[in-house]
Amino acid sequence: MNKITLYRILAVAIPLALIELACRLGWINRLTLPPPSEMVVGLWGILKSGRMNAAMLETLRNVIVAFAGSVVAGIAAGALVHGVAPVRRLLEPLFSTYYAVPIYGFYPLFIVMFGLGDKPEILIGFMLAVVAVITATLAGLDGVPRVLVKTARVLRLGPVRTAWQVTLPYAAPQLFTGVKLAAAYSFIGVIGAEFIMSQSGLGYEIRFAYDNLDNNVMYPLILLVLVVAVAMNGALDAWDRRLRERRRAGR
Amino acid sequence: MNLLKLPGASAALLVLILLVAWQLTFMAVGAVAIASPAATFAYLAQHLADLGPHIWATGQAFLYALAIAIAGGLVLGLATGLSATAAETAEPLLLAANSIPKIALYPVVLLLFGIGLPAKVAFGAIHGVIPVAIFTMNAARGVPPVLLKTAAVLRLSPMDRIRSILLPSALPEVLTGVRLGFSLTLIGTILGEMFGSQSGLGYLLMTSIGLQNTQIIMAVTVLLIAFAAIVSTALLAWERRLRRRR
C-alpha cells in the first residue's frame, strides 16, 4: 500500500473513530447521533430483511433514467449549441448562472404538472444534471484542434458524422467530467425531491423515519445514501483515470 | 444580429425568451399549476413589503452561512493545497464529499442544532464549503514554484506569503470556487428553511407548496433567481477581468 492511500484511509478512519468514541463515552447524546458501528449493524439488518428493497430499486431506477437522459440530451444539446455561435452567445449567461438557481423551487410546479410520483423526481434530477453535461461538452468541443475539423470537411463528412466520429470522440475525456457530475447531480436531485415531497423512495424513507423519530431506520439509511454516493463517485473516478491512462499510452 | 453585440443585449433577449416560455407554460398548464408572469409581478409589486421579514431572515442566515463557507473553504483549501502530499490525499475525499446528497444529512443537522437560525446556517455552509475548498486547493497547487521559492529567498513570513504571493496568484480560481459556493450556499440555506424553520423564503416556499399558492411560489422563485443571477454574473465579470489582467 502506498503512503497516499494510507493517509486517505487515516483521514477517514480517525474522525470516524473519534465520533465512535465520543458516542460510546456519552459525550454525544445517542438520540442525536448513535455510534457509527451501530449504524452499520442497523444497515446490515435492514439490507438483510429486504424491507427497503422496493424503495432502493425505485430510487436507483429514477436516478438511472435522469442520468441517462441528461447525458444523451446534454451531449446532443452541447454539440448543437456549439455549432451555432449566436445561440451559444445567447445561452452562455444562462449556463453560467444556472447553478445559482434553486432548482427545487420548480418541484411544486412539476408535481402539479405531472402528479406526485416518478416523473417530477426524474425531472429534478435531469435538470440538475443536464447543464453540467452541456457545459462540459462545450468546453470539450472548444478544445478540438481545427485541423481535425478541416480534415472532416475535406472528407465531406456531414455535421452529424463529424460530431459522432471526430469531434465528440476527441472531446471524450472532457465529456467524462460532465458525465461524472451528471451522476452525482441526478442522485442528489432524485433523493432531494423524494425527501421534500413524495410517497416512496429512499429519500422518502429517510424523511418518514425522521418525522417519526425512528433513528434505528433513519441513520442506517443516511449511511446507505452516503456510501452509495461515495462508491459511485469512486467507481466513475477510477474508470476515468483508466481511460485517460489508456489514451496517454495510445499516443 | 448586430444588436446582439451590445452589452447586455443578449442577456435582455434571454430574459425575454424565458418570460415567453413562462407565459406559454402558463397557457398550457393553467393557473392551478403555475402563476402567469403578469400575476406574479403584480403580486410582487403589491406584497413586496410583506415579504420583507422573510427576505431579511433568509438574507441574515445566508450571509452567516456564506461567511462560514468561504472562510472554511479557504482554510481547508490552503491547508491541503500547500503540500503536495496533503493535496493528493484530500482531493478524492473532497470530490467524494461533493457528490453526497447533503439533503440526506439534514436530519442530523437538525438534531445537532435544533430548529432555527443555527440549523439554516449550518445547512447552507455545508453546501458551500466544499466547492470553495476544492478550487482553493487547486489554485494553491497551481501557484508557480518560482514564486514560492522567491518568497522563501526573501524570508517572507507565512502570513506575508499568503497575502502577497498566494492570494494574488490564486485569486481568479478561488473566485470560481466562491461563485459556485455562493450558489450552493443559497440553495442550502433555502433547503434548510424548507424543513427546519418558521421564517424565511424557504419556509414561505414550503408553506405555499402545501397551500398550492402558485403566486407566492413563483414570486419567491423569481426573487431568488434574480438575486442569484445578478450576484453570480457580477462575480463572473470580476473573475474574467482578473484573468484578462494576467
> For A161-185, what is each residue's pLDDT tens digit?
888 888 888 888 888 889 999 999 9
What's the pLDDT band for A186 if we cut at 50, 70, 90? very high
Q: List the single range of A16-30, A220-234, B155-169, B185-199 with lowest mean pLDDT.
A: B155-169
**Any CB–CB contact under 8 A between B217 and chain A?**
yes
**Any CB–CB contact under 8 A between A50 and chain B?**
no
Q: What is the pLDDT of residue A129?
A: 94
Indicate if the pLDDT at residue A251 is higher than 60.
Answer: no
What's the pLDDT band for B81 if we cut at 50, 70, 90? confident
Indicate if the pLDDT at residue B5 is higher than 70.
Answer: no
Q: List the single range of A36-40, A243-247, B68-72 with lowest mean pLDDT.
A: A243-247
Among B18, B40, B100, B109, most A C-beta atoms within 10 A, so best to mutate, is B100
**Any CB–CB contact under 8 A between B21 and chain A?**
no
pLDDT tens figures, A45-64: 999 888 888 888 999 999 99
Backbone angles phi, psi at B114, to 5 degrees: 75, 170
Query: A97 and B233: CB-CB below 8 Å?
Result: yes
A102/chain B closest Cα distance in angstroms: 5
Residue window 138-157, chain B: list those with CB within 8 Å of chain A. Answer: none
What's the pLDDT band for B243 if we cut at 50, 70, 90? confident
User: Among A112, A221, A237, whose Cβ lies nearest the Cβ of B33?
Assistant: A112
User: Between A and B, how many CB-CB pairs are < 8 A?
Assistant: 156
Return the percentage of chain A with pLDDT > 90, whole number. Answer: 31
- B104 class by beta-carbon count within 10 Å (0-12 exposed, 13-18 middle, 19+ buried): buried
What's the pLDDT band for B212 if we cut at 50, 70, 90? confident
The residue assigned the cell 480560481 is B173
Mean pLDDT value of segment A176-202? 90
What lies within 8 Å, CB to CB, of A15 at 6+ separation is: none
pLDDT tens figures, A102-132: 788 788 778 878 888 899 999 999 999 999 9
Mean pLDDT (chain B) is: 86
Cα gap A40→A50, rounded to integer Å: 15
Question: At what angle are helices B106-113 and A215-250 packed, to 10 degrees?
Answer: 130
Q: Where are the alpha helices (DSSP H) in B142-213?
A: 145-153, 158-161, 167-196, 201-211
- Sort out which chain B residues have CB atoms less than 8 A from A203's CB and list them: 101, 103-104
Q: What is the pLDDT of residue A81?
A: 92
Cα gap B222→B37, rounded to integer Å: 10
Mean pLDDT value of segment B111-130? 89
- Dihedral sign, CA of A57, B127, B175, A104? positive
Cα gap A177→A241, rounded to integer Å: 11
Residue window 166-195, chain A: list those with CB within 8 Å of chain B. Answer: 183-184, 187-188, 191-192, 195
B147/chain A closest Cα distance in angstroms: 26
Cα gap B73→B128, rounded to integer Å: 8
pLDDT tens figures, B19-43: 999 899 888 887 777 888 988 999 9
Among B103, B106, B138, B238, most A C-beta atoms within 10 A, so best to mutate, is B103
Query: B4 and A89: CB-CB below 8 Å?
Result: yes
Indicate if the pLDDT at residue B1 is higher than 50.
Answer: no
- Dihedral sign, CA of B111, A202, B184, B90? positive
Query: A97 and B182: CB-CB below 8 Å?
Result: no
Mean pLDDT (chain A) is: 87
Return the percentage of chain A with pLDDT > 70, whole number. Answer: 99
Indicate if the pLDDT at residue B2 is higher than 60.
Answer: no
Cα gap B131→B133, rounded to integer Å: 5
- B16 class by beta-carbon count within 10 Å (0-12 exposed, 13-18 middle, 19+ buried): exposed
**Any CB–CB contact under 8 A between A155 and chain B?**
no
Return the percentage of chain B with pLDDT > 90, whole number. Answer: 22
Whether the Cβ atoms of residue A193 and residue A121 lie closer than 8 Å to each other: yes
